[in-house]
């Protein structure tokens, strides 16, 4: 119940982002399982053609907006009725930013830990990490270029 009260305390922009994020997370959960990473990312890119942000908008306001969108996406992920992983969350955050004309980079990294291959995904805006600020990305070597669709365990 407190989740709903918190939702209604948000301003209209934040509520809209939270709803878009929840819908995007659900669709991405399904899309990755049926279409795979490359096709789903291409589909999200098609849904959100690059929009050039207003020239009057400064990087500071874009960064503030990007952080606000990140907070709403993370809250939506925490409050869904199912769990999502870093790849699903990062793809949706990348898409939410892109449809608003904020150019961010989706990063995917990997590491080998005691005979186990692991992968992690995060989003960067002007080389600053937006999601997963706990620093777990520091332990993963980012892939250069386009990430591939591999059967890996994402954190």
Please spell the DSSP secondary structure of 44-109, one letter per residue.
Answer: HHHHS---PPPTT--HHHHHHHHHHHHHHHHHHHHHSSS---HHHHHHHHHHHHHTTT---EEEEE
Number of folded domains that form the chain: 1
- Tokens representing 120 are 């992690």
Q: Which domain holds residue 142?
A: 2-148
Q: Report the predicted TM-score, pTM, of the whole model to 2 decimal places.
A: 0.79
- Tokens representing 99 are 């449809």
Cα–Cα dist 91/39, whole Å = 12
Q: Look at residue 117 and tell me if it is in a domain.
A: yes
Q: Tokens 């929840």 label which residue?
A: 22
Cα–Cα dist 103/94, whole Å = 8
Q: What is the residue-level pLDDT of the chain in tens, covering all 155 positions?
A: 466 677 778 888 888 999 999 999 999 999 999 999 999 999 998 988 766 655 445 555 888 999 999 999 999 999 988 999 989 999 999 999 999 989 898 988 887 778 888 788 889 888 888 887 665 555 565 666 544 333 334 44
Q: Look at residue 155 and tell me if it is in a domain.
A: no
* pLDDT of res. 59: 58
Q: Look at residue 47 and tell me if it is in a domain.
A: yes
Q: Look at residue 153 and tell me if it is in a domain.
A: no
Q: Look at residue 154 and tell me if it is in a domain.
A: no
């Amino acid at each position: 119940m407190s989740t709903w009260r918190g939702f209604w305390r948000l301003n209209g922009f934040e509520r809209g982002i939270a709803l878009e994020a929840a819908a995007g997370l659900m669709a991405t959960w399904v899309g990755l399982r049926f279409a795979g990473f490359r096709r789903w990312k291409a589909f999200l890119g098609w849904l959100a053609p690059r929009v050039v942000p207003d020239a009057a908008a400064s990087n500071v306001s874009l960064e503030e907006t990007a952080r606000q969108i990140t907070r709403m996406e993370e809250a939506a992920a925490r409050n869904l009725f199912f769990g999502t992983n870093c790849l699903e969350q990062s793809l949706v955050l990348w898409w939410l930013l892109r449809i608003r004309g904020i150019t961010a980079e989706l990063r995917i990294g990997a590491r080998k830990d005691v005979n186990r291959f692991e992968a992690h995904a995060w989003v960067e805006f002007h080389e600053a990490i937006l999601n997963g600020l706990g620093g777990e990305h520091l332990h993963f070597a980012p892939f250069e270029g386009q990430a591939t669709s591999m059967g890996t365990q994402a954190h």
